[in-house]
Structure 1
Amino acid sequence: MRSIYLVLDMENDLIAEDGPNGKGPLGEQVRSRGIIPRTANAIAKARAAGVPIGYVRVGFSPDYREAPDTSVIFSGAKQHGLFKLGSWGTEVHKDLAPQAGDFDIVKHRVSPFWATNLEAILRAHRIERIFCSGVSTVAVVQGTVRDAHDRDYVCVVLEDCCASANAEDHAAGIRALQRFASFTTSEEVDFSA
């Protein structure tokens, strides 16, 4: 089964220790759960198995023309200068840095399928299974799994590489996905199976 590993929203504005969210509850969960080193381990395993890596990043043009004023999640991005493409904040965390040949999927909403290049990448490479992880569990991880499921992809979530702003939200997010995906960890994952 042809696979891809999607690394979801692991960008500086969300997870860097000195980034705006890294200083808050999400950053604390990312650090306490060891999300960055576990994700780096998973990326290395995927590369060793010859599985392509896709980095999904949320980002907007410098004038925020794609940011919806009606969104509870994104309406504050412009006000706070978050998720501005071309800035440090939308770069993938340095410990997870993309390499030549990796895919860059820039999204303007929660789901990486909505108005992005992801579907074209999956079709061009005849992908059938999506491994994924990232932040946050209740947003991009859920959005990815639900949309992938409805497009007939097999979904596998690396649970120990996901986090939300608190442990309760993370656990609830994982419980909500039980019917749509299978779960593994960065230690147990077998990308070649």
Structure 2
Amino acid sequence: MRSIYLVLDMENDLVAEDGPSGKGPMGEQVRSRGIIAKTASAIAKARAAGVPVGFVRVGFSPDYRECPTTSAIFSGAKQHGLFKLGEWGTAVHDALKPEPGDFDIVKHRVSPFYGTNLEPILRAHKIEHIICSGVSTVAVVQATVREAHDRDYVVTVLEDCCACPTAEAHAAAITVLQRFASFTTADAFDFATA
């Protein structure tokens, strides 16, 4: 079964210590759970096993033409200068630096499948199994798991590489996703047999 590891929304606006979210509850959870280091370890293991890595990032053109004004999540992005492509905020965290050959999937909504290059990448590489992790568990992780399931992919979530603004929200998201995916940790998962 061919696999890919999708690293979800691990961009500076959301996870960097000095980024907008890094200064709040999300940043606290990212730090206290050791998300950056665990994700870096998972990426290294995937690469060593020959499993392709894809970085999913939320981002908008400098004029925010793709940004929905009706979205409860994204409507304030333009006003606050968040998620602007080409800026520091939409770059993947330095500790997780993409390498040549990694996939870059830019999305304009919560789901990495909606209006992106993800599906063509998966088809071109005959991917059947999606391994994923990222922030936040209640948003992009949940959307990825549900949509991947409904598109007939096998899904594995590296739970210890995911976070929400609260531990309670993270735990609740994991609970509701149990029917759609299997869960493990970065240390326990064997990319070589993925």
TM range (shorter): over 0.9
The one-letter code matched in structure 1 to 2:158 is: L
CA distance in 2, matches of 1:165, 1:79: 22
CA distance in 2, matches of 1:54, 1:149: 18
What residue number does 2:123 align with?
Answer: 123
Give 1:47-126 correspondences, 5 Å limit. 47-126=47-126
- The 3-state SS of whatever aligns with 1:132 is strand
Q: Does 1:26 align with 2:26?
A: yes
Using the TM superposition, give the Cα deviation of residue 191 of structure 1 relative to its aligned residue in structure 2, in angstroms: 1.3
CA distance in 2, matches of 1:141, 1:81: 24
Using the TM superposition, give the Cα deviation of residue 8 of structure 1 relative to its aligned residue in structure 2, in angstroms: 0.1
- The 3-state SS of whatever aligns with 1:157 is strand
Using the TM superposition, give the Cα deviation of residue 192 of structure 1 relative to its aligned residue in structure 2, in angstroms: 2.1
Query: What TM-score, normalized by structure 1, do the two folds share?
Result: 1.00
The one-letter code matched in structure 2 to 1:147 is: E
Query: What TM-score, normalized by structure 2, do the two folds share?
Result: 0.99
What residue number does 1:155 align with?
Answer: 155
What residue number does 1:183 align with?
Answer: 183
Which string of whole-angstrom CA distances, capped at 9 and with x for unpartnered residues, describes residues 127-180 of structure 1? 000000000000000000000000000000000000000000000010010000
CA distance in 2, matches of 1:11, 1:68: 20
The one-letter code matched in structure 2 to 1:51 is: V
Using the TM superposition, give the Cα deviation of residue 101 of structure 1 relative to its aligned residue in structure 2, in angstroms: 0.2
What residue number does 2:11 align with?
Answer: 11
The one-letter code matched in structure 1 to 2:183 is: F
CA distance in 2, matches of 1:24, 1:5: 27
The one-letter code matched in structure 2 to 1:129 is: H
Which string of whole-angstrom CA distances, capped at 9 and with x for unpartnered residues, describes residues 21-75 of structure 1? 0000000000000000000000000001000000000000001010001100000
Q: Which runs of 5 or more structure 1 residues have no equivalent in the other structure?
A: none
Aligned pairs, number: 193
Q: Which runs of 5 or more structure 2 residues have no equivalent in the other structure?
A: none
- The 3-state SS of whatever aligns with 2:190 is coil
Question: RMSD across aligned C-alpha pairs, in angstroms?
Answer: 0.4
Q: Does 1:173 align with 2:176?
A: no
User: Identity over aligned residues, as a percent?
Assistant: 79
Q: Which runs of 4+ in 1 moved over 2 A?
A: none
What residue number does 1:35 align with?
Answer: 35
